[in-house]
Chains A and B, each alone.
Chain A
């Protein structure tokens, strides 16, 4: 199959994300990229664990003083749900239904954006309430770098998926853009998984002390 073929619901392949050589390459290459990203976040996690609660003096707040469960729980639910909606989007992509795919993707974007708003509120809260900033201590630097790297990934994902939706709004699905949607959703799952670890390692373990 070629990427520029015109397809119908009947001729649409079962795995449109892997049905041309270019698509196969993109699919596999993106998995490898996520492998590299895993090591990247692992390094950031290791750094965070080494510097957790490492502050210059006792006037600084520690992890157990600043984290609050309700806020991060809502954020977690938002992001987990956005992963689910992106699965529905891919379901419709595989059924050659561009309209429904876009709807679910837009829902994913809204949930992702809400997560990001909560995160910005959270950071702002820490800065003003606890003077816990990027430059206040090694703990602060490590916290904002790890969680901020994740937030940056979410922001990039939002821009990416928005670009994909806008670019392909008028022309529907074909074998050239189907893999693009698919790897974007893979990426979205990945940042969701990273968040599960952040929620556990940073927030839950942080609150226990």
Chain B
């Protein structure tokens, strides 16, 4: 049974991906779905910039503008950034720790399908009467008053995809704790694995408050409860707290993996050990901890009082310290290194000043008194785009170029990659730098237009032109992907030539069992260590033996689909439709039925026998 060069029809491939529990294939699913939603969210951003390019524009109506900004934010955070980050975690983390798969392959697949159906559900709102229009934060005071079903799509769609993220987080935590290869101690784990670890812990503790917030809003909008109904004793500030107790750690859930990717890139392309490895680990953990202590800085103007504001202001500023440690460590990693300016390295180097700019405005916003001026202006918009685009999106683009060969077995074109980079980099700063000043001059965020003669015209036009550059950058990337996939030049284990960690010690893409024999890890940068001693690959830690692998399953798809069906029932419950309750019941029956099947049907997985593994070797030998 060869795992290489199997020709399969389209139907078989599709079925393979619908039922796969292989972390590498799930990573590809995340990448495709996340990439798709990234393009959707990007188009929404372009519509926003077209509308705001000139004063008194009527490209979209005020109501539609609200829907577009809400969907842009929600899509980018939950359906683009998170899954793209998850794509790299799935693709790379198990390889970095020398594992054959994640701890719960079935749950991994379930997590993907829940995210996917949640995302599809949310975006279907465009085809029913209107998308959510209460902002991505969906503050209850606004959301409860929203007409139509938009906010209901938001509540149910995020609920479904949130469950997927939560179980994904648990899965990664257990994988990292239980499945490291012999010798892979915690303080030998690559930084990307460390950031996956901390991020997963953040997901575990940050998503339940969101779950509760969404449940309360669902109950209020669809089942007649009164959590946010002030005339009945309700209180809308509860939503703000629950949302931001989730929402602030969410920022770190996104940016820590970005830090992880950049840490790998800096070490690889400076061809030097990461400077201050242990302080990097410490800073990552500290950022994760402090991330839970600062949520109320989003609510300085809510009126929590000066004591609360002061405490949260100080805690917020404290996060600047571990982040600063990281910045200096990256700089000192490059210092004295033999730096190679590949496409990923371009993003990494550009990330530092961009992200620091976002950090500086972050500390400005953290001063509660000053925040009363900045609040709800374009200054805030500029700030969070600097950290999220300058941090997370740069990392995702860098990671796409860096890990493409490991995921697909072929390199993206480096020249086209650099063109993408420059277009995106220039476009990004052009769009968002000027928005700091627009905010300071008094332009409020979330307005659908502005009048001529207020001094906003030129700056907004510049900002909109920047969006054109970014769009072109993405188009070049898409062309690059298609062109290199068509060419499909296969690459070896370590296509960059500078791989330091275990993923570069095995074929690209790796066989479905990843490691024929688990590798023996002798230190930080395990593969680099062996290369420096003149060895070709890792020393095995075990004799060649049978490998235990999990079975593929269609049940994750079915479970997620059941919730998707139930969500439609819940959504139309407020219209007093006769069929709404039966639909909820049918949907839940599908989900629970699939869970029941999973529970009663034994699934022991299967073994790949030693002889088959040896045959694989021989076939490869013949081909070469």
Chain A positions within 8 Å of B, measured between CB atoms, are: 3-4, 21, 24-25, 28-29, 32-33, 35-37, 39-40, 43-44, 46-47, 50-51, 54-56, 134-142, 145, 160, 163-164, 167, 176
The 3 closest A-B pairs by CB, nearest first: A54-B233, A138-B233, A141-B225
Q: A29-B171, A176-B604 are in contact. Are A43 and B208 (CB under 8 A)?
A: yes
A145 to chain B, nearest CB (A): 7
Look across to chain B and name the residue whose beta carbon is closest to the beta carbon of A54: B233
Q: A35-B205, A56-B231 are in contact. Are A163 and B170 (CB under 8 A)?
A: no
B551 to chain A, nearest CB (A): 13
B555 to chain A, nearest CB (A): 15
CA distance A50 to B227 in the complex (A): 10
Chain A residue numbers with a CB within 8 Å of B204 are: 32, 35-36, 39
Look across to chain B and name the residue whose beta carbon is closest to the beta carbon of A164: B599
Contact B178 A138 (CB under 8 A): no
B73 within 8 Å of A by Cβ? Answer: no
Contact B227 A141 (CB under 8 A): yes
Complex A-B: 22 CB contacts under 8 Å: A24-B178, A25-B103, A25-B178, A28-B174, A29-B104, A32-B170, A39-B209, A40-B208, A46-B238, A47-B212, A50-B235, A56-B233, A134-B223, A135-B226, A138-B226, A138-B235, A140-B226, A141-B225, A141-B227, A163-B596, A167-B599, A176-B602
Q: A24-B178, A36-B170 are in contact. Are A145 and B219 (CB under 8 A)?
A: yes
B234 within 8 Å of A by Cβ? Answer: yes
Contact B232 A28 (CB under 8 A): no
B interface residues, tally (CB under 8 Å) = 43
Contact A145 B216 (CB under 8 A): yes
B600 within 8 Å of A by Cβ? Answer: yes
Contact A37 B208 (CB under 8 A): yes
B398 within 8 Å of A by Cβ? Answer: no
Chain B residue numbers with a CB within 8 Å of A28 are: 103, 173-174, 177-178
B78 within 8 Å of A by Cβ? Answer: no
Contact B104 A47 (CB under 8 A): no
Contact B205 A138 (CB under 8 A): no
A79 to chain B, nearest CB (A): 22
Q: A36-B205, A54-B233 are in contact. Are A25 and B224 (CB under 8 A)?
A: no
B392 within 8 Å of A by Cβ? Answer: no
Look across to chain A and name the residue whose beta carbon is closest to the beta carbon of B167: A33
B371 within 8 Å of A by Cβ? Answer: no
Look across to chain B and name the residue whose beta carbon is closest to the beta carbon of A166: B600
B412 within 8 Å of A by Cβ? Answer: no
A105 to chain B, nearest CB (A): 15
B417 to chain A, nearest CB (A): 38
Contact B166 A36 (CB under 8 A): yes
Contact A145 B215 (CB under 8 A): yes
B207 within 8 Å of A by Cβ? Answer: yes
B229 within 8 Å of A by Cβ? Answer: yes
Q: A36-B207, A145-B215 are in contact. Are A138 and B174 (CB under 8 A)?
A: no
Chain B residue numbers with a CB within 8 Å of A137 are: 226, 232-233
Chain A residue numbers with a CB within 8 Å of B238 are: 46-47, 50-51
Q: A32-B173, A51-B234 are in contact. Are A135 and B224 (CB under 8 A)?
A: yes
CA distance A6 to B231 in the complex (A): 64
Q: A32-B173, A138-B229, A141-B227 are in contact. Are A44 and B212 (CB under 8 A)?
A: yes
B559 to chain A, nearest CB (A): 15
Other than the known A134-B219, A135-B226, what 11 A-B pairs have Cβ atoms closer than 8 Å? A4-B604, A25-B103, A25-B178, A28-B103, A29-B103, A36-B166, A39-B204, A39-B205, A43-B211, A47-B238, A135-B224
